[in-house]
Structure formats: structure tokens, C-alpha cells
Chains A and B, each alone.
Chain A
Amino acid sequence: MTDGQGRLQLRRRPRPQPNRKLAKREARWFYFFIAPWLIGFIFFGLWPIAASFGLAFSDYDLGGWPSFVGLDNFEKMVDPVQGPVLAKAIRNTLFIALTVVPLQLALGLGLAVLLSQNVRGMPIFRTAFYLPSVVAGVASIVVWIWILGSDGLLNQGLELLGIDGPVWLRDPATVKLGVIIVMVWGGTGAMMLIFLAGLQGLPSELLDAAAVDGAGPLRRFWHVKLPLLTPQLFFNLVIGLASGLGVFTETYVISTDPGSGAPANESLTLVMYIYRQLLRNLQAGYASAVAWVFTAAVALLTALQFWSSRRWVHYEYEN
């Protein structure tokens, strides 16, 4: 080994002496090319972060100048007036995100498995499942408001089963369920597409080997396919959770009074709370403080996922 290594080093061509002038020239071009990003990073990244940090400790109504108020904004988050409302917004957001993401993951994976079985007309099915993800937004939420309405499609369907459905989006008990249905419909397809790409890139030798060893379809899925799909699972989880915690459009549009969190603040989410504090109450300082809490929570959850990924995400079989 040592011998070989020594010879290898001898055989290697001497590295071209780095020409300092050329290297310097290339470095200048490097900064020339990344300049747009760098400028954007300073003005639309670094500066806003610093400013919002300062605002979090200030009182600012969007006119004049912000005034420093210390920890007032953070105290306000737990005071008897704002505390319960903010707590509700956090609870709602967590409930929605932590329900939606597992459902999207399970359904996305299930659909991908179905589609990966050499199905005739696969592109048509794939399009049907993926299209909702492409158009997810106000235009498709409009139709869901009708579907989930008092005489909407869902309740008509439930009536066939003898169930008297609620007015989903007007009833405090069911409004979050309604939002969850819309989000699962709109987010599953994107995850499915990523799982499908993963499933079709699986090394067939492994699956065949498992089959020869007598593993049935279920065991093959659980012990061979699923571990190999953990990179896709991880990607979908990180992206899904970050966007789930940022839920805003759905909860904003479905309300009779957009952005109010009606009924009874049950559809009030964290980003909507921030939006309300900024534009309805003109409390830019307090809104920034809450935005910081939101960002910290998302960052913490993302970091936690990356940290835990070492234990359960397998990157061995690169294709």
C-alpha cells in the first residue's frame, strides 16, 4: 500500500504552479459573477434580517421612526390580551402542519407505489395527481369553498351515507379539517412525483435479490424499498413541514372576513397573525418579534430534521 502510494505520487504530474496573477484574475471574475446574488443577499437578506431584529425590540407604526422598547414586544406575546390569541395561532398552525404533512407523505408514497407498477396510461394518472399541486392557490381554493359548503359536494356525498355534514369552513369544530383537506389535495402530488422518481431509480438487483430470498411484496416494500426511499422522504418532510408551518393562503381565503381567522380564531395561523399585526394593527415592531419566533421555530425544526437524518436517511445506494 505504502509502496503503491509512493509510486503513485512519483507518477503524478507535478501540479502546475498556480499562477498568482491568473488566480487573482479568476477570483475577480468569481466576484463579478456572484455580484448579483451578493447585492441581493445584502439588500434583500442581510439588511432585512438585521432590521427585523432591531424592530423586534422597537415600537413602530410604519410612520416616523421606530423607538426602542426593550423586551416589551416579547412580554406582549404572553400578556393576558395577546397571549391567548397568539397561543391559539401557534396551536392551530402546529395542528394543521402536523396533520397535513404525514397525510401528504403517506398518500404521496402510496400513490407513487401504485404508479410505479408498470401501469398503462401512467402519465394520465400522474397528471391527475400532480395538477392540484401546480394550481394550488386562490383559484382552486374557490371551488373548495363550495365543495365544503353547506350543500356542497362533500356533504352531498356524506348524505348518501346518511351523515348530515357540517358547514365545514364556518363551523369552529371543523374549519381546520376543511383546511387540511384542501392542503392534502394540493400538496400530495408534488411529493408523489419525488417518490415516484425515487422508486423508478431503485437498483433492481436489490429488489430481485430480496424476491429470490423469498420476501413477499410487503416485506420488500418495508425492508428494501422504504429504506432506499429515505432521501426522498427526508426531502419531502423538510419542504413539507416548512411550507405547512407557513400556511396562510388557504386560511386567509376561506374566511368570510379574509384574514380574520374566523370562525372564533379557529383558522388563525401564525403567519396570518403576523400579517394582521403588521397591516391591520400597524404594529411592525410586535409583528417582527412574532416573526422572529416563527423563524426560530422553523429553523429549529429544520435543524432537528437534519440532525436526526443521520440516523434514518440512507444515502448508500447512489445511482
Chain B
Amino acid sequence: MLLQTKPSSESTDTTASGSRRIKRSGKPRFVRRGFLYLSLIGLSFLFALPFLWQFGASFKTNAEIIQPGLNLIPESFRLDNFRRAFEEVPFDLWFYNSLFIAVLATIGATLSSAFCAYGFAVLRARGSSLWFGLALVTIFIPFEALLIPEFILFSKLGWLNTPWPLIIPWWFGGGAFNIFLMRQFFKGLPHELVDAARIDGASEVRIFWQIMLPLTIPALTVVAVFHFIYIWNDFLRPLVYLQDTTSTTLPVGLSSFVSRFRRDWSILMAGSVMALVPIIVLFAVAQRFIVRGINLSGVKR
């Protein structure tokens, strides 16, 4: 929201910005603006180039791909590569596993972090800030440090090669960073709502579920979008916990695909593009929440 409104307010011609303009006028304005747009267009093209090339290449034959030159648009939009990707590897299975894990982990992390954050933000108890401090510290423990004992734990539970190691832990707190984000948001809501509801005799669970939670939907969306992207791209955890080809996720499947089809670029491009599509669609739909989330995350403090 902030990002959208600020630039327009800057453009209004106040005396202050007028004086700024005087100071800047080393070169004519249009020259400076020209340079600005040229560099922006050039740089954004460089950043987007890998995608553009990848999408084009997913329709090309291998011979067409290795042709020199920047041919972004394929000769024809043939779907052969995509069909081949489905035939050669259990692509549909990986896709399903990824989606299953990402959806359930996201629901768990979102609800669970909101639930716990409500406790931290609204309810008072002796030692509550101590618990919260402890939660904050865990943000800085790299998850790689816990990978080995968790691997042993999950293998003893018989959870290896099942989606559960990648889902269940998120239902218990949903990650300290998400709790922190949601707590900030709950803190911003008027406490009178809780007091009034208590006087009316509502139970704490009901106050949370029916009064406070609906008010946090903007924050919940941010947490959900970021978490979904995080889980969808997660690599090390599924690589360690899901070593079976049929139980693994898209990124891990794709990585085995990379070593198997080393020279077969057309099938690699098609496979990777199919892995990119869901996340790009989600991004397109949720972009404004992501931008808002940056402001919400409290980096500005």
C-alpha cells in the first residue's frame, strides 16, 4: 500500500521538491530520465532473460536450443517436451507430492503461528516475555543444525519417505518468524475487543477464532504466501527425508532429472518450466500481499 501511494504524493509540485529540482539540474531533466529508464530496462531485461529463454526453450527441439543466438521465441509451440517429461519420469507424482506438502504445511504454519501469536500478544502470564524471547532466539538457529537428529527421529517414527516430516512440524508453532510476524499484528489490534468479548462471556478460544482471527486476514495471507513459496522451493529437507523417487517433491525430482538428462535440454526446460508455473501464478495473484508483507515484517523499526 505504502509503496503504491508514496511516489504519487512525491510528484505533487510542492515548493520543497521544486527547490530539489533546481539543485539537481546539472544535465537537462530528460537526459537524466532517459539514462534512468535505459538502465532500468537493460537491467530488468537481464534479470528476466533466464526466464524468457527458459519458457521459449521449453517448446524447442534440442537442435533448436543449441543454435547460437538469442532466439527467445521458438519456431513452433510444440508440446512434445512436456509430454516427454511426463513419460520419462513420475512428474505427476512429484507435482502431487509437492502440492500436498506445500498446502498442508502452509495451512498448518499459518493457523498454528496465529494461534500461538495470539497467546504471546494478548494473554498475560508471568514469564510470558521469557518464552517469547526464547522463541525469538530460535529464529537464528540454522535448521541445518537440527537436520541430523530430526532425520534420526523421523526414521525411528517410520516417517521417512512419507510427507509427514515436512508437514507435521509446521503444525506446532509454524516457525518462530511467523509467530513473530503474527504477534506484531495482534499487538496492533485494540485490546478493548478482547475485554468486551470477555465481559460478554465469550471463551478465549471463541474470542481468538471469531473475533481476533478474522481481523488478521491480511497478515495471515502474507504468512501463507511466503510460507507456500518457501515450502515449494525447499530442497535440503525433502532431499534428506524423501529419498524414494516416488515419494519425493518436484525440486528433488528435478535435480535427479538434471543428472539423468544432462544433454537433453528440451526435456529439462519443459520439466523446470512446469515446476515454475504454479509459483509464478501464485506470485502474480499475491504480489500486492508480498509487497505489503515487507512493510508488515517490521524491518522498518
Interface residues of A (CB under 8 A from B): 23, 26-27, 29-34, 36-41, 43-45, 47-49, 51-52, 55, 62, 111, 114-119, 122-132, 134-140, 142-147, 151, 153, 156, 185, 188-189, 193-194, 196-198, 200-201, 204, 207-208, 211-212, 214-217, 231-232, 235, 242, 245-246, 248-249, 252-253, 256-258, 271, 274-275, 278-279, 284, 287-288, 291-292, 294-295, 298-299, 302, 315, 318-319
The CB with the most chain B CB atoms within 10 A, among A33, A115, A201, is that of: A33
The answer for the CA separation of A35 and B229 in the assembled complex, in Å, is 26
The answer for the CA separation of A142 and B65 in the assembled complex, in Å, is 14
* B271 shortest CB reach to chain A, Å: 8
Give the interface segment out of B73-81, B216-224, B274-282.
Answer: B274-282
* B84 shortest CB reach to chain A, Å: 15
Q: Among A45, A48, A135, A256, which residue has its beta carbon within 8 angstroms of that of B262?
A: A256
Task: Please state if B48 and A128 are interface contacts (CB–CB under 8 Å).
Answer: yes
The answer for the CA separation of A84 and B238 in the assembled complex, in Å, is 29
CB of B285 within 8 Å of the partner chain:
no
With a cutoff of 8 Å between Cβ atoms, the chain B residues found around residue A47 in the complex are 149, 153
CB of B135 within 8 Å of the partner chain:
yes
Task: Please state if B172 and A40 are interface contacts (CB–CB under 8 Å).
Answer: yes
- Nearest A residue to B17 by beta-carbon distance? A208
Task: Please state if B44 and A137 are interface contacts (CB–CB under 8 Å).
Answer: no
Residues A204 and B172 in contact in the complex (CB < 8 Å), given A27-B124, A44-B146, A129-B47:
no
Q: Among B39, B47, B235, which residue has its beta carbon within 8 angstroms of that of A132?
A: B47
With a cutoff of 8 Å between Cβ atoms, the chain B residues found around residue A185 in the complex are 47, 50
- Nearest A residue to B208 by beta-carbon distance? A33
The answer for the CA separation of A142 and B276 in the assembled complex, in Å, is 11
The answer for the CA separation of A34 and B128 in the assembled complex, in Å, is 10
* B211 shortest CB reach to chain A, Å: 14
What per-residue 1/0 map shows which CB atoms of B29-57 lie under 8 Å from chain A?
00000001101100111011111011001
Task: Please state if A51 and B179 are interface contacts (CB–CB under 8 Å).
Answer: no
Task: Please state if A299 and B37 are interface contacts (CB–CB under 8 Å).
Answer: no
The answer for the CA separation of A235 and B140 in the assembled complex, in Å, is 12
What per-residue 1/0 map shows which CB atoms of B177-191 lie under 8 Å from chain A?
001000000000000
Residues A114 and B124 in contact in the complex (CB < 8 Å), given A37-B173, A204-B16, A284-B148:
no
CB of B3 within 8 Å of the partner chain:
yes
Residues A129 and B44 in contact in the complex (CB < 8 Å), given A278-B151, A318-B301:
yes
With a cutoff of 8 Å between Cβ atoms, the chain B residues found around residue A140 in the complex are 50-51, 54, 272, 276
Interface of B is mostly: helix
Q: Among A36, A49, A124, A295, which residue has its beta carbon within 8 angstroms of that of B112?
A: A36
Task: Please state if A292 and B145 are interface contacts (CB–CB under 8 Å).
Answer: yes
With a cutoff of 8 Å between Cβ atoms, the chain B residues found around residue A147 in the complex are 50, 53
The answer for the CA separation of A308 and B208 in the assembled complex, in Å, is 40
Task: Please state if A51 and B119 are interface contacts (CB–CB under 8 Å).
Answer: no
What per-residue 1/0 map shows which CB atoms of B127-143 lie under 8 Å from chain A?
01001001100101110
Q: Among B45, B68, B123, B272, which residue has its beta carbon within 8 angstroms of that of A139?
A: B272
The answer for the CA separation of A49 and B153 in the assembled complex, in Å, is 12
* A247 shortest CB reach to chain B, Å: 11
* B53 shortest CB reach to chain A, Å: 7
The CB with the most chain B CB atoms within 10 A, among A23, A41, A127, A143, is that of: A143
CB of B254 within 8 Å of the partner chain:
yes
Task: Please state if B20 and A211 are interface contacts (CB–CB under 8 Å).
Answer: yes
With a cutoff of 8 Å between Cβ atoms, the chain A residues found around residue B252 in the complex are 138
Task: Please state if A204 and B49 are interface contacts (CB–CB under 8 Å).
Answer: no
- Nearest B residue to A189 by beta-carbon distance? B47
With a cutoff of 8 Å between Cβ atoms, the chain A residues found around residue B92 in the complex are none
Residues A29 and B272 in contact in the complex (CB < 8 Å), given A246-B144, A284-B152:
no
The CB with the most chain B CB atoms within 10 A, among A117, A135, A252, A295, is that of: A135
The answer for the CA separation of A278 and B147 in the assembled complex, in Å, is 10
With a cutoff of 8 Å between Cβ atoms, the chain A residues found around residue B115 in the complex are 33, 36
* B255 shortest CB reach to chain A, Å: 5
What per-residue 1/0 map shows which CB atoms of B224-266 lie under 8 Å from chain A?
0000010011011001100100000011101110110010010
